[in-house]
Amino acid sequence: MIEDELRATFARHETLTPEPGPLRAAIDRLAVRRRRRRFALRAAGTVLAVLVTVSVPVMARTLAAAPDPPRLGGTGSSSTPAPAVVEGPLNFLVLGIDGEAGAEGNRADSVLMVHVPRDRDRIYLVALPRDLGVEIPGQGFDKLNSAFYYGSHRPGGKPDLAGGTELTAKTISKLVGVRFDGGATLTFTGLRRLTDAVGGVSICLDQPVRSVHTDRVFPAACQRLGGSAALDLLRQRYDLRAGAHDRDRNAERFAKALLGELASRRTLTDPARLSAVIKEVGDGLVLDTGVRALPELLAVAGAVDGAETVGIGWSFNTDRTRGGAYERLDPAVSRSLFEALRNDTLGAWVAANPGHVTR
Amino acid sequence: MTYEEFADSRLAVLLRYAVMLTGDPHLAEDLVQETMVRVQLNWRRVVRADSPERYVRRMLTNQFVDWRRGSWVKRVLLRSEPDETLAVPVDHAQATADRDQIWSWLGRLPRRQRAALVLRYYEDLPDAEIAEILGCAVGTVRAAISRALATLRAQLVETC
């Protein structure tokens, strides 16, 4: 009887239902705003990726420079053989994921290939857009950033960041035709903790920056920033005179300041301090040395000391024919670029395509 | 199916469902808005589900039940009790008044219990499907419904 009353009550109140029209418009507006916010997060991811690329080799080089008696002894009697010298070109994958390792799943919003050529004179950075439509092994056609989700998501459990990195690497290997020798994946917290672990950084800005996220204003002056503030600054793009380009310059300033901080505290020359810092960053940074042994990579890191860093960028087309907005590679560029990556001829490629060098 | 097609055909239905869940047209709009924004941003994943419609209904229900996670709840807590007199067509018959009383009692039930009632007595879904939407066992659904009905019955007796 009460059941019938319930049915009647529900049916009767159907008239309360508002018109869907205005709501539909409000949903679209809000979705646009959130997409923009996601974009800002993605931009920060790029910053993180570049930072790791810059800082990890430096840290690693320092580790390699630490006293190592068996190697310095140099006689055949040593029980630990000197690491094999890595001769060929190397490819690394650096990922910045969208925030924290959370149960709702993570995507890799920043995807950066790092190519170290055979002659070690330069470091090439090739970024791929996270919205690039790709074939993900075992998952079909989707956006590139989803590969990390598929690889890392463990329903009800902690995400497996290494699994996400691996599937993303496989996806890109299939697309580009190169195998990765290692990788680094950084969460949002990773950058914040890293900054706090060195006691903050000093950054001098040439224009004031207002945060669209926190309303904090960073003056056009030298200032000392903790982890949260640094992260906030590096997320800003919209308010800058040259937008993304100025933000990249802030990222460079930050990376330089961070390395300076590490150096001044003698962190880089003291393996114990360095490992304390890395420990402090904790699970915000996942390093994967891939098939190579760590000592081999450390030797490479020493070799690329002082190498020029060359960023490669190109425009993408948005493809709306497959539902959702996918970025599409421009085959005229990507075919020769990927071929150059495979054949380790990026130097010649950059010389032939100076317009695609981002700095 | 595109997001636009989905919204064209399902938005009104979802709104009606949300009204039954929340008991309030404004809260219903908030709830549907929050859910549909997420649907739009994650459309690829939604459309891959066996039934996108069921998937979205499940999202919306969870958003409603799981108040701790939703930003949506902030607005809920800021509002006072759902306005019981709002826009309900006035009918002076006693039976109608009783039914409207049931409507306001529904608002005091735990959210999961109310959702279970709506799914069974408004959406007419089998218990197995209700369990799937709420993410619990069929037995739990039945227990929740019988507890909710008992509460309503007790209140009905009290006012007689």
Residue B152: closest CA among chain A residues belongs to which residue? Answer: A2
Task: Tell whether A8 lies on the interface with B, counting CB pairs under 8 A.
Answer: yes
| Stated pTM of the model | 0.47
Q: Do A323 and B117 touch (CB under 8 A)?
A: no
Q: Tell whether B89 lies on the interface with A, counting CB pairs under 8 A.
A: yes
Contacts of the segment A134-137: beta carbons below 8 A, 24+ positions apart: A134/A171, A134/A172, A134/A174, A134/A175, A135/A171, A135/A174, A135/A175, A136/A167, A136/A171, A137/A167, A137/A170, A137/A171, A137/A174
CB contact under 8 A, B25 and A17: yes
Closest-CA distance, B129 to chain A, in angstroms, reads 19
Tell me what pLDDT residue A104 has.
67
Chain A hits for B96, CB-CB cut-off 8 Å, are: 12
CB pairs under 8 A between A and B: 94
Question: Over pLDDT 90: what percentage of chain A?
Answer: 12
Distance from C-alpha of B108 to C-alpha of B110, rounded to nearest angstrom: 7
Give A 300-339 residues with CB within 8 A of chain B. Answer: 323-324
Which residues of chain A have a CB within 8 Å of the CB of B40? 27-28, 31
Query: Shortest Cα distance from A15 to chain B (angstroms)?
Result: 7
A144 with A168: CB under 8 angstroms?
A: yes
Is residue A301 within 8 A of residue A287, CB to CB? The reply is no
Once rounded to an integer, what is the mean pLDDT over residues A74-87? Answer: 45
Mean pLDDT is lowest, of A21-30, A186-195, A276-285, for A276-285
B118 inside 8 A of chain A by CB: yes
pLDDT band at A213 (very low <50, low <70, confident <90, very high): confident
> Average pLDDT for residues A323-352, to the nearest whole number?
85
B150/A contact by beta carbon, under 8 A:
no
DSSP string, A248-289: HHHHHHHHHHHHHHHHHTT-TT-HHHHHHHHHHHGGGEEEE-
pLDDT tens digits for A280-329? 666 666 665 444 444 444 445 445 545 556 667 655 555 556 556 677 77
How far apart are the C-alpha atoms of B160 and B91, rounded to whole Å? 20
Which pLDDT belongs to residue A295? 42
Q: Which residues of A touch B29 (CB under 8 A)?
A: 18, 23, 26
Higher-confidence position of A102 and B47: B47
Spatial separation of the C-alpha atoms in residues A277 and A59, rounded to whole Å: 11
Answer left, alpha or beta for residue B80, where phi above 0 means left and psi between -120 and 50 means alpha.
Answer: beta
Which of A33-37, A168-172, A193-197, A241-245 shows the highest mean pLDDT? A168-172
Q: What is the mean pLDDT of residues B73-87?
A: 42
How far apart are the CA of B1 and the nearest CA of chain A, in angstroms?
8
pLDDT exceeds cutoff 90 at A57: no
> Minimum mean pLDDT among A57-71, A339-353, B91-105: which range?
A57-71
**Any idea which of A65-74, A298-307, A340-349, B99-108 has the lowest mean pLDDT?**
A65-74
Contacts A107 to B, Cβ<8 Å = none
> What is the rounded CA–CA span in Å between residue B28 and residue B76?
10
